[in-house]
Amino acid sequence: MTIPTDRPQRSERRDFLKSVALGTAALGVSMAGPEVLSSSIGRAKAATGKNLKMAFIQFMPHTVPAAWSKGIEDVLSKQGNIDYQLLDGQAKIEVQISLMDTQINDGANIIFLQPVDSVAIGPSIVKAKRAGIPVITLNIDAVEDHAAHVEMSHYAGAMDIAKTMGGAMGGKGKVAIINAPPGIIIRDQRTNGFIDGLKKYHPDIQIVADQPADWDRKKAQDVFTTILAAHPDITGVFGVNDSMALGVVDVAKQKGIQGKLIVFGDDGEKDALESIEAGELTGTQYTDVYQQGRFAAAAAVVLATGGVDASSFRAKGHLLIPYIIATKSTVGQIQPNQRW
Amino acid sequence: MLRRFPGFALLCLFVVLFALFSVFSRRFLSAANIEDILSGYSFMAILAIGQAFPIIARGVDLSVGSNVGLGAMVLFDLNMIFGLPGYAAIPMAIAVCALAGTLNGLLVTLLKLQPFVATLATLAAYRGGVYAISGRQLYPELATQSIRDPWIRSLDAYVDVGRWIGLARLVKLPSLPLSFIVLVVVAFAAQTVLSRTRFGLDLKTVGGNPEAAHLAGISVNRVQVAAYTLSGLCAGLVAVVLVARFTTATEATGTGMELPTIAAAVIGGASLQGGVGNALGPILGAFLLGITLVGLTLIGVSQFTQQILTGLILLGAVWYDRATWDRQQAAAARNG
């Protein structure tokens, strides 16, 4: 699977417009606050006579889904008639499928989902759609079409990471990618964005290793130690999430090669920002993940109360959240209440 | 008669929990929910039955999860890379898993390794094999494509038994997932093997007292290898069921399944001391874990509390089983 970089402009534009529409709707709700909304939600409540049910099925316990969940709760708790639950997929697709089934039977109105596998979750999404339940994916897209997808701009962000990272490396040298496991679209988006970014801005930089470390700091330490043994002349590493990049920083510190190694992460979690301020991690793509959760929740409220059936969504709305590339010189812009 | 069923206490616990969840959550007893529990946990029950064989033979198979992953990836590769249709690829994948089980058995018997160590090693080795042969890593474009083969896709089917037997007009019965029907067939076959064949008797003798079994002229090695092969065979069946359900094979398929299957088998009355066990208990054990997770989610108990409660239920069930066993031993000692 490759990212359709050569996709015709027009469909790109249509996607963009759809995102803007969805984004505006989402913003509208989150800005409007309870007073304005209570009238329409009150009607929905009067009609059904009970609370709406929404659940977020996360990949596994991690800083990113925890922050989304907080953002989602920010918005949903203000509505006053929504029961919200955070459920743990335990990084196992069969657990997620079982949780999806339970939610569908339980009459959930919206399911937020961070799929463990973009393909294997497909049959469950079909089942949810058949039951009229909109599914909103966060960050990790699913192959099966669904109501909406809210992501951190993986492709464009990774391209910018490649640009900044290559600049810090002086436009030459060897890099390694510490990657996510295959089978999830985010892996392709971030990897391809990074590769295309290097090709475009720094064609002399060579990618010598690309290995999965399953999003995990500890695993990344082991994987990078092995890579370093095979390629001691590596001067740049892209960790496809911050946890893995911090694992690389751990190894660099231990081996005393910190000054020589440019390390970039992705996501922008608190630990990564602190590491950048301490001069250890070189940079990351920072997204306000609370805000991302709020966007998703706001879209969910619109879907659940607007009388819109999931089957009326022929293709998903694609909402990309803005980001900055945080490095030592820019990390100060990120306010304390935006750190997660 | 029912009292003689070794898992009687377990059956009671199961019924009590089931009743409790039905009272506390209206959705629990719905046909759709029963359907989901059946489709979500039948594969665990099949693995637990497979696991019971090595456990009865005083061993354990820690590699079942990795073996499932291996079978799933073989099926994926045969179909997606080599274009083999399902009817050819499915038996081959199951055969690979059975062979992997045989290898476990050979490590335990020929190399005389501790079952725990031998299958811990193959747990790592088979999982490594999954990554090495992963069609999703070798051909990245396959990673986000789903399997379209009609033979494989059709296995994710549901059978509307209610309409078959004409009860649908009276009550909404759950449709049975195909994996549950596989489970029923496996359970029937396994119980027959355990209680009505020479091999079943030999297996229990070997597990109960290997030396005595040897003196009685039983080929201990052959029985043990067969036990691990059967565990592998069950892993193969589960691999096929899961690939049909996922429409792909992930590198992580089966990860972490070994402990729940061991727990289910032990809760179901397969004694870790060897020599004791049946094919029906593990099914109850697996579904006990299933209804606990689903029931607690439906009641709205938080995930962390769920894990604590699941652990406590496990402890309680195993403790009860152990206490019963001790009482029986004491009674036997008094009478003997």
How does DSSP assign A198-263, residue by residue? HHHH-TT-EEEEEEE-TT-HHHHHHHHHHHHHH-TT--EEEESSHHHHHHHHHHHHHHT-GGG-EE
Q: Which of A32-41, A48-57, A231-240, B280-289 has the lowest mean pLDDT?
A: A32-41
Q: Do B144 and A188 touch (CB under 8 A)?
A: yes
Tokens at A329, concatenated: 């010189």
Mutate to test the interface with B, among A87, A117, A143 (most CBs of B within 10 A): A117
**Which residues of A make CB contacts under 8 Å with B?**
1-2, 83, 85-88, 90-94, 97-99, 101-102, 104-107, 116-120, 122-123, 143, 181-183, 185, 187-188
Q: Which of A105, A122, A185 sits opposite B30 (nearest CB)?
A: A105
Give chain B's end-to-end CA distance (angstroms, integer): 24
Query: What is the distance in angstroms between the Cα of B150 and the nearest Cα belonging to chain A?
Result: 15
% of chain B with per-residue pLDDT over 90: 56
Residues in B touching A50 (Cβ below 8 Å): none
ipTM of the complex: 0.76
Q: Residue A183's closest chain B neighbor by CA?
A: B143
What's the per-residue H, E or C state across chain B?
Answer: CHHHCCCHHHHHHHHHHHHHHHHHCCCCCCHHHHHHHHHHHHHHHHHHHHHHHHHHCCCCCCCHHHHHHHHHHHHHHHHHCCCCCHHHHHHHHHHHHHHHHHHHHHHHHCCCCCHHHHHHHHHHHHHHHHHHHCHHHHCHHHCCCCCCCHHHHCCCCEECHHHHCCCCCCCCCCCEEHHHHHHHHHHHHHHHHHHHCHHHHHHHHHHHCHHHHHHCCCCHHHHHHHHHHHHHHHHHHHHHHHHHHHCCCCCCCCCCCHHHHHHHHHHCCCCCCCCCCCCHHHHHHHHHHHHHHHHHHHHCCCHHHHHHHHHHHHHHHHHHHHHHHHHHHHHHHHHC
- Residue A311: pLDDT band (50, 70, 90) is low
* Mean pLDDT for the stretch of residues A109-135: 92
Q: Give the pLDDT band (50/70/90) at residue A43.
A: very low
Whether residue B332 lies inside any domain: the answer is no
Cα–Cα distance measured from residue A20 to residue A191, given in angstroms and rounded to the nearest whole number: 26
Q: How many whole angstroms separate alpha carbon A283 and alpha carbon A299? A: 31
User: What's the CATH code of the domain at B116?
Assistant: 1.10.3470
- The answer to the question of residue B330 being in a domain is no
Assigned token pair, B175 = 């449709």
| CATH 3.40.50.2300 residue spans of chain A | 9-152+289-321, 154-266
* Cβ separation A107–B27 shorter than 8 A: yes
Inter-residue contact B183 to B45 (CB < 8 Å)? yes
> Stretch B60-77: mean pLDDT, rounded?
97
Q: Which of B43, B143, B242 sits opposite A182 (nearest CB)?
A: B143
Segment B135-143 mean pLDDT: 86
pTM comes to 0.81
Averaged pLDDT score across all residues of chain A: 84
Token pair belonging to A150: 């809210």
The reported pLDDT for the residue numbered B266 is 84
CB atoms within 10 A of CB A43: 12
Look at A249-258, A267-276, B38-47, B272-281 and tell me which has the smallest mean pLDDT.
B272-281
Closest-CA distance, A278 to chain B, in angstroms, reads 34
Question: Which chain A residues are within 8 Å of B28, Cβ to Cβ?
Answer: none
Residue B311 lies in a domain: yes
Mean pLDDT of A168-187: 91
Read off the pLDDT band of B85 (50, 70, 90).
very high
CB-CB under 8 Å, B143 with A119: yes
Number of Cβ pairs < 8 A linking chain A and chain B: 98
8 A C-beta contact, residue A248 and residue A223 = no
In the numeric block, the tokens 């009150």 are attached to A42
Residues of A whose CB is below 8 A from B297: 87, 99, 102
- Block residue for tokens 């249509």: A14
Q: Position of tokens 């090709």? A: A199
Task: Check if the beta carbon of residue B63 is closer than 8 Å to that of residue B122.
Answer: yes
Q: Which domain holds residue B261?
A: 2-325
* pLDDT tens, position by position, B92-128: 999 999 999 999 999 999 999 999 999 999 999 999 9
Residues B35-55, mean pLDDT to the nearest whole number: 93
* Domain A9-152+289-321, CATH: 3.40.50.2300
Give the span between the Cα atoms of A263 and B267, in whole angstroms. 49
- Find the mean pLDDT for residues B37-46: 92
Tokens found for residue B295: 């029931």
Indicate the pLDDT class of residue B200, thresholds 50, 70 and 90.
Answer: very high
Coil, strand or helix: which one is A5? coil
Q: Kindly report the number of other CB atoms within 10 A of residue B82's CB atom.
A: 10
Instruction: Tell me whether residues A188 and B140 touch, CB distance under 8 A.
Output: yes
Residue A189 CA to residue A1 CA, distance in Å, equals 10
- CATH 3.30.70.1730 is held by the domain A154-266: no
- The residue with tokens 């409220």 is A301
Closest CA relative to residue B284, chosen from B61, B49, B51, B63: B49
Option in B40, B247, B250 nearest A123 (CB): B247
The pLDDT value recorded for residue B277 is 87
Of B40, B255, B297, the CB nearest to A87: B297
Instruction: Say if residue A126 is exposed, middle or buried (CB neighbours under 10 Å; 0-12, 13-18, 19+).
Output: middle
For residue A13, name the pLDDT band (cuts at 50, 70, 90): very low
Collect all residues of chain B within an 8 Å Cβ-Cβ radius of residue A91.
252
- CA-based nearest residue in chain B for residue A181: B251
Residue B71 CB: number of other CB atoms within 10 A?
Answer: 33
Contacts of B298 in chain A (CB under 8 A): 102, 106
What is the Cα A75 distance to its own chain's centre? 19
The vertex-A218 CA angle with A217 and A219, nearest 5°, equals 95
- Please tell me if residue B247 touches chain A, with a CB cutoff of 8 Å: yes
Option in B27, B140, B247 nearest A1 (CB): B140
Span A145-156, average pLDDT: 91
Q: What is the pLDDT of residues A15-28, one digit of tens each?
A: 444 444 454 444 43
The dihedral region occupied by A139, where left means phi > 0, alpha psi between -120 and 50, and beta the remainder, is left
Block residue for tokens 């929910």: B33
Separation of alpha carbons A175 and A173, rounded Å: 7
Number of independent structural domains in chain B: 1
The predicted model gives A80-101 an average pLDDT of 90
8 Å CB contact of A102 and B245? no
Q: What is the mean pLDDT of residues B246-266?
A: 89
Give me the residue from B33, B40, B136 closest to A182, CB to CB.
Answer: B136
Rounded-to-integer distance, Cα B285 and Cα B13, Å: 10
In a domain, B45, yes or no: yes
Cβ within 8 Å of A, B 77-106: none
pLDDT tens readout for residues A190-238: 999 999 999 999 999 999 999 999 899 999 999 999 999 999 999 999 9
> What are the φ/ψ torsions at residue B320 (nearest 5 degrees)?
-60, -45
Please give the pLDDT value at position A12: 45
Beta bridge partners of B186: none
Pairing mode, if any, of strands A174-179 and A236-239?
parallel
Q: d(Cα A175, Cα A162) in Å, to the nearest integer?
A: 10
Q: What pLDDT, on a 0 to 100 scale, did the predictor assign at position B2?
A: 46
**Residue of A92, A119, A122 with shortest CB distance to B255:** A92
Judge whether A140 and A184 are in contact, CB under 8 Å: yes
Show residues of chain A in contact with B256, CB under 8 Å: 90, 92
Q: Is A216 left (phi over 0), alpha (psi -120 to 50) or beta?
A: beta
Determine the Cα–Cα distance for residues A291 and A19; give it in Å rounded to an integer.
Answer: 15
The answer to whether residue B331 sits within a structural domain is no
In a domain, B336, yes or no: no
Query: Mean pLDDT across the stretch A298-327?
Result: 78
**Residue A196 parent element (H or E):** helix A185-201
Q: Given an 8 Å threshold on Cβ–Cβ distance, is B247 in contact with A120?
A: yes
Is B297 near chain A, with CB under 8 Å? yes
Q: Closest CB to B144: pick one of A1, A86, A104.
A: A1
Whether residue B263 is predicted with pLDDT greater than 70 in this model: the reply is yes
Whether B144 sits inside 8 A of A97 (CB atoms) is no
Mean pLDDT of chain B: 89
Euclidean distance between CA atoms B183 and B176, whole angstroms = 11
Q: Is the predicted pLDDT of residue A176 greater than 90, yes or no?
A: yes
Whole-number pLDDT of residue A49? 65
Query: What DSSP string runs through A95-147?
Result: HHHHHHHHHHHTT-SEEEE--S-TTTTHHHHHHHHHTT--EEEESS--SS--S
- Work out whether strand A135-138 and strand A148-151 pair parallel, antiparallel, or are unpaired: parallel
pLDDT, residue B319, reads: 79
Q: Enumerate the β-bridge partners of residue A135.
A: A111
Interatomic CA distance for residues B53 and B204, integer angstroms: 9
Cβ neighbours of A134 (radius 10 Å): 26
Local structure of A44: helix, strand or coil: helix
